[in-house]
C-alpha cells in the first residue's frame, strides 16, 4: 500500500499505534491533539511543531518572504491557542537552496521576529541546512494560563453542545484563489482577502477566554471547517450537524465568489480560526465576552460513526465535493 492510498490521517494513526505508550506519568496529552501537554511543578507545559514546504504549503510567487516567516510562526501559535495556552518559546529550523538571497532570509526572520514580539514569544534556537527547496519548521513551547491545568482538547465535545467558530472561515481560501488566479477585486476587498491568507491572526486571547469561560473542546481550522470538526467528532466519538444558513461568510468572499463562497467556508483551510463546542449557557457567556465575532453554526449530536452532516435552511443535506485539505490524498 502506498502512502497516497492510506492518506495523511491514516498514516498518522498507523504511526501512533507503532509508538510505545509513554511511561512518563507526567504526560497529559500525546499524539492526536493540536499540541502535546505534560505536567511540571509550576504549570502544564505545551509543545507543537509545524513545517511549511515550498510548492506544497506556499509559493514564493504569491507569498513574500516576510509574510512567509510570520505565517510559519502563526500556524504554530494557533495550535497553542487551540489548547487555550500561553506561547513562550520558539525554535526555528530552516532549509534553503544555496543560491537563496541573504536579503530574503533576513526578510523571513523579520516576519518571525515581529509576530513573536506581538505575543511575547522568545526565539531561542534552531537549525539551518541546505536543501533543493525552501522549508521552514518551527516548534513552539508554551504553558497553561495557570496552575489549574485547564486545557482545551479535541476529545471533550458532548451531544447537545453548540458548535461555534471565531471569525469568518473560508476567507483565506478566497485569498489564495485571488492570488494564484491573479484575480482583480476592489482594493479594500483585495486587501482583506490577501491578509486573511498571508497574515492569519492566532487567536491566543480567544483560546484563553474559552478556557476561562469553561469551554473544554476546541481545534483550530487549518484543514477546513468540516474536516477539522470531523477530527473533533472522531476524538470525542460524537457527530455534528452544521447549518449553512448560520455560517459567517465574509462579505468580500460573498461578493466576489458568489455560490462558491459556501464551499470555501466549509472546506477552505488555513483560516486558523478557532472551532469549539460548549453548552448553551457557556456559549452565551463566550459570545458576550469575546472581542472577535463568535458564531454558533450547529450542534454536536450522538453518532457512533462520528459523521459531520451539513444541512441547508430546510434541513436537507448539502452535497459537497471537497472534504478539506489532506496530504497524500489519492487522486
Using the CB atoms, write b or e for 245-271: b if 16+ within 10 Å: eebbbbebbbebbeebbbbbbbbbbbb
Q: How high is the pLDDT of residue 1?
A: 76
Provide the CATH topology of domain 3-143: 60s Ribosomal Protein L30; Chain: A; (3.30.1330)
- Residue 187 host element (H or E): helix 187-198
Which has the closest alpha carbon to 203: 157, 149, 152? Answer: 152
The CATH architecture annotation of domain 162-311 reads Alpha-Beta Complex (3.90)
pLDDT tens digit sequence for 202-223: 999 999 999 999 999 999 999 9
pLDDT at residue 15 in the model: 66
pLDDT, position 33: 75
Report helix, strand or coil for 16: helix
Q: What is the pTM of this model?
A: 0.89
Residues of each domain in the chain carrying CATH 3.30.1330.10? 3-143
Tens digits of residue pLDDT in 179-202: 999 999 999 999 999 999 999 999
- Lookup: cell for 30: 500525546
| Confidence (pLDDT) at 323 | 59
Q: What pLDDT shows up at residue 36?
A: 81
User: How high is the pLDDT of residue 325?
Assistant: 47
Express the helix, strand and coil content of the chain in percent, nearest 5 each: 35, 25, 40
* Residue 331 confidence (pLDDT): 43
Residue written as grid cell 510548492: 55
Sheet (strand 135-143) strand order: 27-29, 36-39, 44-53, 135-143, 86-96, 122-130
Q: Write out residues in the chain with pLDDT < 50, as ranges.
A: 325, 327-328, 330-331
Cα–Cα distance for residue pair 71/196, rounded to 1 Å: 11
- Please state, in angstroms and rounded to a whole number, the distance separating the CA atoms of residues 44 and 85: 9
Domain with CATH 3.90.650.10 in the chain: 162-311
Amino acid at each position: 500500500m502506498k502512502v497516497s492510498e492510506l492518506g495523511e490521517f491514516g498514516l498518522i494513526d498507523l504511526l501512533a499505534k507503532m509508538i510505545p505508550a509513554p511511561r512518563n506519568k507526567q504526560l497529559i496529552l500525546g499524539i492526536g491533539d493540536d499540541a502535546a501537554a505534560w505536567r511540571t511543578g509550576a504549570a502544564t507545559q505545551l509543545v507543537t511543531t509545524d513545517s511549511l514546504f515550498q510548492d506544497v504549503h506556499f509559493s514564493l510567487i504569491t507569498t513574500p518572504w516576510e509574510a512567509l516567516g510570520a505565517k510559519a510562526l502563526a500556524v504554530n501559535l494557533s495550535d497553542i491557542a487551540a489548547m487555550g495556552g500561553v506561547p513562550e518559546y520558539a525554535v526555528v529550523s530552516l532549509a534553503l537552496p544555496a543560491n537563496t538571497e541573504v536579503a530574503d532570509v533576513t526578510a523571513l526572520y523579520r516576519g518571525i521576529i515581529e509576530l513573536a514580539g506581538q505575543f511575547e514569544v522568545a526565539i531561542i534556537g534552531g537549525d539551518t541546512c541546505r536543501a533543493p527547496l525552501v522549508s521552514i519548521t518551527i516548534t513552539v513551547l508554551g504553558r497553561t494560563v495557570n496552575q489549574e491545568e485547564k486545557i482545551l482538547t479535541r476529545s471533550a465535545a458532548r451531544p447537545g453542545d453548540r458548535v461555534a467558530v471565531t471569525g469568518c472561515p473560508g476567507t483565506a481560501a478566497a485569498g489564495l484563489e485571488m492570488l494564484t488566479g491573479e484575480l482583480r477585486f476592489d482594493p479594500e476587498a483585495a486587501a482583506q482577502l490577501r491578509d486573511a491568507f498571508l497574515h492569519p491572526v492566532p487567536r491566543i486571547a480567544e483560546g484563553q477566554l474559552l478556557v476561562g469561560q469553561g469551554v473544554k473542546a476546541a481545534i483550530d481550522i487549518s484543514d477546513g471547517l468540516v474536516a477539522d470538526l470531523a477530527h473533533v467528532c472522531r476524538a470525542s466519538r460524537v457527530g455534528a450537524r452544521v447549518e449553512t444558513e448560520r455560517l459567517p461568510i465574509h462579505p468580500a468572499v460573498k461578493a466576489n465568489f458568489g455560490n462558491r463562497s459556501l464551499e470555501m467556508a466549509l472546506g477552505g483551510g488555513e483560516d486558523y480560526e478557532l472551532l469549539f463546542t460548549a453548552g448553551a449557557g457557556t456559549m452565551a457567556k463566550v459570545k458576550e465576552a469575546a472581542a472577535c465575532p463568535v458564531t454558533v453554526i450547529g450542534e454536536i449530536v450522538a453518532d457512533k460513526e462520528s459523521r459531520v452532516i451539513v444541512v441547508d435552511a430546510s434541513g436537507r443535506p448539502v452535497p459537497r465535493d471537497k472534504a478539506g485539505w489532506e496530504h497524500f490524498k489519492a487522486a
